[in-house]
């Protein structure tokens, strides 16, 4: 089998939001929402992006589509740097990459009919005739399982799941290659979440789509993603293919996150101990010195409080940023990487 092509290449991406203060509204600091992330997304794959609320997932997804002016780094999409693209280049790149939002209610204009919402990108980016546009809208409605007869209704007339289908149809209108799905099912009833996930998976197979699938729901990501990136306080701490990430996480933060999720494999579930993280997530405006996770890590070492660990390939295809995985550290007397037994654990506890 040939190695899949990289569709998206992100290098040291930073998105800092300025904080203004005082009478003159001068810049007094920055929220480092995304603070130097590096990863690839392979053609046709689903890369899951997980982490607690506020860790920078949405900002990362939006920055990838240049919905923000990024603060640093590069984003190559099919080789072209979108972070540097001119408005004209950006307009040409737009159709190839789209976003499906968390809240279909908020992202659909309530005064536009479904046909207009889905057809708007066609109006903006193509020279299709009115009849051709109408035909394409019907085709898109079929593709996402919406009844054509409802084309002239308004979003209010639809259920949450149907509204998300409208959002997906709109995202598909221009035949994108790459879609950022930002918590696409988080606002939906549990009973219809699976339907929307199945639809996204079917569309991926049929249309050869590549997804960045953002979610705080680790079980859902395990179901849908080929590889998973774990974010904490603006950085990716671990990235690995799904199976090894869930069965043998390397980073203490991933271990803690997963210890709070029930494992479908009883053998793994029995072996697993719950890790309690104490303390709050530090503010992204004032991250700790050294490793961002050092204030809450159950296995923190001295070096973690002064040196930010490098995000690097620690085993083939597995990336992590942690001094516990640093050979030179263990060799120089800080002790070998400790196993799960040494972690502070509590059978009843949960992550705080």
Please provide the size of the chain in residues: 352
Distances (CA, A) of 18 to 21, 27, 30, 60, 182: 10, 6, 4, 16, 23
Cα–Cα distance, 60 to 75 (Å, whole number): 11
Site for ligand ADP contains 58 (CB under 6 A)? yes
Q: Name the minimum Å distance from CB 311 to ligand ADP.
A: 18
Name the one residue in this structure whose structure tokens are 């929402």: 33
Q: Which distant-in-sequence residues (6+ apart) come within 8 Å of 164 by Cβ? A: 100, 104, 184, 185, 188, 196
Q: What are the percentages of helix, strand and coil residues in the chain, rounded to 5?
A: 35, 25, 40
Closest CA to 289 of 298, 278, 300: 300
Q: Which is nearer to Mg ion, 58 or 162 (CB)?
A: 58
Neighbouring-strand partners of residue 75: 10
Question: Which listed residue (29, 44, 54, 72) binds ligand ADP by CB under 6 A?
Answer: 54
- Whether the CB-CB separation of 343 and 299 falls below 8 Å is answered with yes
Site for ligand ADP contains 56 (CB under 6 A)? yes
Site for ligand ADP contains 284 (CB under 6 A)? yes
Cα–Cα distance, 38 to 89 (Å, whole number): 23
- Whether the CB-CB separation of 174 and 98 falls below 8 Å is answered with yes
Among the residue ranges 57-65, 259-267, 285-293, 339-347, the one whose residues contact Mg ion (CB under 5 A): 57-65
Site for Mg ion contains 58 (CB under 5 A)? yes
Rg (CA), the chain: 22
Question: Which listed residue (59, 71, 98, 292) binds ligand ADP by CB under 6 A?
Answer: 59
Q: Which is nearer to ligand ADP, 32 or 170 (CB)?
A: 32
Question: Residue 118 class from Cβ within 10 Å (0-12 exposed, 13-18 middle, 19+ buried)?
Answer: buried
Backbone angles phi, psi at 232, to 5 degrees: -140, 125
Q: Which is nearer to Mg ion, 58 or 343 (CB)?
A: 58
Q: Which one of Mg ion, ligand ADP, none interacts with residue 299, CB within 5 to 8 A by kind?
A: none
Q: Which is nearer to Mg ion, 58 or 98 (CB)?
A: 58
Site for ligand ADP contains 44 (CB under 6 A)? no
Q: Which is nearer to Mg ion, 101 or 178 (CB)?
A: 101
| Per rule CB under 5 A, count of chain residues that contact Mg ion | 1
Cα–Cα distance, 154 to 163 (Å, whole number): 10
Q: Which is nearer to ligand ADP, 83 or 146 (CB)?
A: 83
Q: Which one of ligand ADP, Mg ion, none interacts with residue 121, CB within 5 to 8 A by kind?
A: none
Neighbouring-strand partners of residue 39: 10
Q: Which is nearer to ligand ADP, 53 or 127 (CB)?
A: 53
Site for ligand ADP contains 48 (CB under 6 A)? no
Q: Which is nearer to ligand ADP, 63 or 146 (CB)?
A: 63
Site for ligand ADP contains 154 (CB under 6 A)? no
Cα–Cα distance, 259 to 272 (Å, whole number): 7
Q: Name the minimum Å distance from CB 332 to ligand ADP.
A: 35
Among the residue ranges 55-63, 70-78, 250-258, 341-349, the one whose residues contact ligand ADP (CB under 6 A): 55-63
x/- string (CB under 6 A) for ligand ADP, residues 21-40?
----------x-x-------
Closest CA to 140 of 173, 95, 106: 173
Cα–Cα distance, 55 to 230 (Å, whole number): 10
Q: Which one of Mg ion, ligand ADP, none interacts with residue 284, CB within 5 to 8 A by kind?
A: ligand ADP
Site for ligand ADP contains 13 (CB under 6 A)? no
Q: Given the rule CB under 6 A, which residues bind ligand ADP?
A: 17, 31, 33, 51, 53-59, 284
Q: Given the rule CB under 5 A, which residues bind Mg ion?
A: 58
């Amino acid at each position: 089998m040939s190695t899949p092509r990289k569709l998206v290449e992100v290098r040291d991406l930073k998105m800092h939001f300025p904080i203004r203060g005082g009478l003159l509204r001068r810049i007094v600091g920055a929220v480092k929402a995304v603070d130097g992330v590096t990863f690839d997304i392979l053609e046709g794959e689903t890369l899951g992006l997980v982490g607690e609320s506020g860790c920078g997932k949405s900002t990362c997804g939006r920055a990838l589509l240049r919905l923000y002016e990024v603060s640093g780094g590069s984003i190559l999409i099919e080789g072209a740097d979108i972070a540097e693209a001119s408005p004209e280049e950006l307009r040409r790149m737009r159709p190839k990459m789209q976003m499906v939002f968390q809240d279909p209610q908020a992202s659909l204009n309530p005064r536009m009919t479904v046909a207009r919402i889905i057809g708007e990108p066609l109006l903006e980016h193509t020279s299709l005739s009115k009849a051709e546009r109408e035909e394409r809208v019907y085709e898109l409605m079929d593709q996402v399982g919406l009844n054509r007869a409802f084309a002239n209704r308004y979003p209010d007339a639809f259920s949450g799941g149907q509204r998300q289908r409208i959002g997906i149809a709109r995202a598909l209108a221009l035949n994108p290659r790459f879609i950022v799905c930002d918590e696409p099912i988080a606002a939906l009833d549990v009973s219809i979440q699976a339907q929307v996930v199945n639809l996204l998976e079917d569309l991926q197979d049929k249309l050869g789509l590549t997804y960045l699938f953002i979610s705080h729901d680790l079980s859902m990501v395990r179901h849908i993603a080929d590889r998973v990136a774990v974010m904490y306080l603006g950085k990716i701490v671990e990235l690995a293919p799904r199976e090894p990430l869930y069965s043998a996480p390397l980073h203490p933060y991933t271990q803690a996150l997963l210890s709070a999720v029930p494992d479908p494999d009883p053998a793994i579930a029995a072996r697993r101990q719950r890790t309690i993280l104490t303390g709050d997530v530090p503010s992204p405006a004032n991250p700790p010195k050294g490793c961002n996770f050092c204030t809450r890590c159950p296995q923190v070492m001295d070096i973690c409080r002064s040196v930010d660990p490098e995000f690097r390939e620690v085993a083939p295809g597995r990336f992590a940023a942690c001094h516990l995985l640093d050979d030179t550290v263990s060799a120089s007397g800080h002790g070998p990487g400790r196993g799960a037994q040494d972690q502070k654990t509590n059978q009843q506890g949960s992550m705080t």
